[in-house]
């Protein structure tokens, strides 16, 4: 795995994906399905992501920024239609 790579023999392992979270882990954290995150990515509505092969990763700081950008002072009300 990537976390086993080192610059030199006997050196501490590199943690190349520190600060990144997988799509599955983020979906669990946000209490949505991974398919929802994939749909948001296709619509360019979700947090920015990066792909490594078939795996999708999100920078944790970018996810926090995205969540803050979606914060509303008063939630939008859905229309109830005409009476």
| pLDDT tens, position by position, 26-82 | 999 999 999 999 999 999 999 999 999 999 999 999 999 999 999 888 767 777 766
Domain 16-66 matching CATH 2.60.120: the answer reads no
Alpha-carbon distances, residue 76 vs 34, 39, 44, 72 (angstroms) = 25, 22, 21, 8
Distance, in Å, from the CA atom of 57 to the CA atom of 26, rounded to the nearest integer, reads 9
Q: pLDDT value at position 83?
A: 61
For the cut 70, the answer to whether the pLDDT of residue 1 exceeds it is no
Distance, in Å, from the CA atom of 72 to the CA atom of 68, rounded to the nearest integer, reads 9
Q: pLDDT value at position 53?
A: 93
Q: pLDDT value at position 9?
A: 67
Q: For the range 72-77, what are the long-range contacts, defined as Cβ-Cβ under 8 Å and sequence gap of 24 or more?
A: none
Q: pLDDT value at position 71?
A: 87
């Amino acid at each position: 795995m990537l976390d086993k790579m080192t610059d030199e023999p006997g050196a501490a392992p590199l943690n190349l994906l520190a600060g990144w979270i997988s799509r599955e882990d983020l979906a669990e954290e946000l209490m949505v399905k991974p398919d929802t995150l994939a749909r948001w990515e296709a619509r360019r509505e979700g947090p920015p992501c990066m792909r490594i092969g078939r795996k999708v990763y999100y920078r944790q700081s970018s996810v926090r920024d995205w969540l803050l950008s979606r914060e509303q002072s008063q939630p939008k009300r859905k229309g109830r239609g005409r009476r």
